């Protein structure tokens, strides 16, 4: 069957090949090409300056919200105490924990490792915890992280350097996978993070599309977030706050060499649940909540690049997965038993493009030798992305548009979900 299919492909005309491979040629290839060109431009002309920490970085207030995560929280605080910045105010918020988090926090406070400790008796969710800390933040910059995140020593200094531009209101850092060797799922996510969080956000930053600072590493101008009212309820509160800052006229930047380590789901089932939550909240925050303002050219702070970024997300999350289903049905209907072989050839295109992207990602990695060992995970990531994560995105889009699934997500406590405004 394979040799027959190969002979068939080699005897096609340009027009018939275009008709056969319209999806990868006209939907996928332009995206790969633009991303590759922009990433290459960054590597050649901008990466050297972006690597330098700001030795004159000012004072930063940091909030570490925690819920039943006492062991990891201690590690996060110790990592923050090693940062090369002028001054640091560490605020730990115990968000209704029922384990030993309270004892851990009080011990850290006695030892002078944290500056302020807020104990919320009944869990209110991350947004409530961050807003509580925002109320007592003393410094001009405000870092939001998670209790399972650790930082490279220069990470905060590099991110803070971007705020020398008075137009910047938010800066996101790079995330790497700490539990990378635990399972196939974590190895795949290492490749995913290299593509979507590091390389993808470099491209978005260069194009003016950047609109989400990861919840594990987002730094903000304190006065700016106070002016827009702080954090709204999640999930997806990290993207929501950056969107509102951009609507208020602030710029958002990505700091690719400000690096933090975080834990990722160790199984594909847990990965699917995480991405379902992320993708549903993205649809809600981008289109129900912010879309009418971002896409309205009459808005005083209308930003064409920002508006295009919203359309790009809808294209990537909703339209591309749907078109891939249509493409698969088209191949099956037109080519019958050859459809599987044609899909295999398309998959080889994805793998080849993925290997090229990973090599570009290595050029902006802070640990290139370690990352090179995971080059072999690129083909597996390609399969997982196309045949699993792509359909998670499609389901999340449909579920959010039809059933508003993000409003029932247990990430947010039930009492908070019951009171939230529905967009």
For 307-318, the pLDDT digits (tens) are 888 888 888 888
What would the pLDDT profile of 117-146 be if each residue is shown by its tens digit?
A: 999 988 888 999 999 999 999 999 999 999
Assess if residue 419 is contained within a domain: no
Least confident of 55-69, 266-280, 349-363: 55-69
Q: Which two tokens stand for residue 356?
A: 């090229």
For 110-125, b/e burial (b = at least 16 CB within 10 A) is: eeebbebebebeebbb
Measured distance CA(212)–CA(413) in Å, rounded: 23
Query: Which residues lie below 8 Å from residue 314, measured CB to CB, with a gap of 6+?
Result: 283, 286, 287, 397
Assess if residue 413 is contained within a domain: no
Give the ranges where 218-338 is alpha helix by DSSP (H).
222-227, 237-247, 268-283, 291-294, 304-314, 320-335
Assess if residue 303 is contained within a domain: yes
On whether the CB atoms of residues 161 and 53 are closer than 8 A, the answer is yes
Q: How many residues does the chain have?
A: 423
Measured distance CA(307)–CA(357) in Å, rounded: 26
Domain count, the chain: 1
DSSP letters along 346-402, please? HHHHHHHHHHHHHHHHHHT-SSHHHHHTTGGGHHHHHHHIIIIIHHHHHHHHHHHHH
Strands 168-177 and 150-151, bridge-based pairing? unpaired
Assess if residue 422 is contained within a domain: no
On whether the CB atoms of residues 95 and 125 are closer than 8 A, the answer is yes
Is pTM, for the whole model, over 0.95? Answer: no
On whether the CB atoms of residues 5 and 335 are closer than 8 A, the answer is no
In this prediction, residue 166 carries a pLDDT of 94
Assess whether pLDDT exceeds 60 at residue 392: yes
- Read off the pLDDT of each residue in 269-285 and give the average, rounded to a whole number: 92
Domain that holds residue 75: 1-408
- Read off the pLDDT of each residue in 344-363 and give the average, rounded to a whole number: 95
* Cα dihedral 132, 136, 140, 141 sign: negative
Measured distance CA(233)–CA(111) in Å, rounded: 33
Strands 116-120 and 59-66, bridge-based pairing? unpaired
Percent of the chain exceeding pLDDT 90 equals 67
Assess if residue 270 is contained within a domain: yes
Measured distance CA(17)–CA(10) in Å, rounded: 9
Assess whether pLDDT exceeds 60 at residue 97: yes
Q: What is the CATH number of the domain that holds 37?
A: 3.90.550.10
Assess whether pLDDT exceeds 60 at residue 319: yes
Assess if residue 417 is contained within a domain: no
Measured distance CA(369)–CA(115) in Å, rounded: 37
Assess if residue 421 is contained within a domain: no
Q: Which of these, 199, 64, 198, 77, lies nearest to 132 by C-alpha position?
A: 64
Q: How many CB atoms lie within 10 A of CB 135?
A: 11
Q: How many CB atoms lie within 10 A of CB 268?
A: 16
In this prediction, residue 114 has a pLDDT band, given cuts at 50, 70 and 90, of very high
Q: How many CB atoms lie within 10 A of CB 103?
A: 11
In this prediction, residue 2 has a pLDDT band, given cuts at 50, 70 and 90, of low
**What φ, ψ does residue 217 adopt, rounded to 5°?**
-155, 80
Assess if residue 423 is contained within a domain: no
């Amino acid at each position: 069957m394979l040799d027959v299919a190969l002979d068939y492909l080699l005897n096609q005309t340009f027009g018939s090949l275009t008709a056969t491979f319209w999806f990868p040629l006209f939907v996928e290839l332009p995206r790969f090409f633009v991303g590759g060109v922009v990433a290459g431009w960054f590597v050649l002309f901008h990466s050297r300056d972006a690597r330098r920490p700001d030795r004159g970085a000012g004072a930063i207030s940091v909030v570490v919200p925690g819920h039943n995560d006492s062991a990891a929280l201690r590690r996060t605080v110790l990592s923050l105490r090693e940062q090369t910045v002028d001054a640091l105010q560490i605020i730990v918020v115990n968000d209704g924990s029922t384990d030993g988090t309270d004892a851990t926090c009080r011990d850290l406070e006695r030892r002078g490792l944290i500056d302020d400790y807020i104990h919320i008796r009944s869990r209110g969710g991350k947004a409530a915890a961050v807003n509580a800390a925002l109320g007592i933040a003393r410094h001009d910059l405000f870092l939001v992280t998670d209790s399972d995140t650790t930082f490279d020593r220069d990470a905060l200094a590099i991110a803070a350097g971007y705020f020398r531009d008075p137009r910047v209101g938010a800066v996101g850092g790079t995330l790497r996978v700490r539990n990378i060797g635990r399972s196939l799922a974590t190895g795949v996510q290492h490749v995913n993070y290299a593509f979507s969080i590091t390389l993808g956000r470099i491209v978005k930053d260069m194009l003016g599309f950047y609109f989400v600072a990861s919840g594990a590493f987002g730094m903000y101008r304190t006065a700016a977030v106070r002016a827009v009212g702080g954090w709204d309820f999640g999930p997806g509160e990290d993207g929501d706050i950056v969107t509102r800052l951009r609507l208020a006229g602030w710029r958002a930047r990505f700091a690719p060499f400000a690096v933090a380590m975080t834990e990722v789901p160790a199984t594909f089932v847990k990965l699917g649940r995480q991405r379902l939550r992320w993708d549903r909240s993205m649809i809600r925050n981008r289109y129900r909540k912010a879309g009418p303002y971002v896409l309205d050219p009459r808005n005083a702070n209308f930003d064409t690049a920002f508006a295009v970024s919203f359309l790009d997300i809808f294209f990537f999350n909703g339209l591309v997965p749907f078109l891939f289903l249509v493409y698969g049905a088209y191949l099956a209907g037109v080519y019958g038993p050859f459809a599987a072989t044609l899909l295999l050839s398309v998959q080889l295109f994805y793998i080849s493009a993925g290997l090229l992207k990973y090599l570009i990602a290595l050029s902006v990695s802070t640990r290139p030798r370690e990352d090179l060992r995971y080059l072999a995970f690129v083909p597996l990531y390609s399969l997982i992305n196309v045949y699993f994560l792509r359909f998670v995105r499609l389901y999340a889009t449909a579920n959010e548009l039809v059933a508003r699934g993000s409003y029932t997500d247990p990430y947010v406590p039930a009492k908070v979900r019951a009171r939230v405004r529905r967009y």
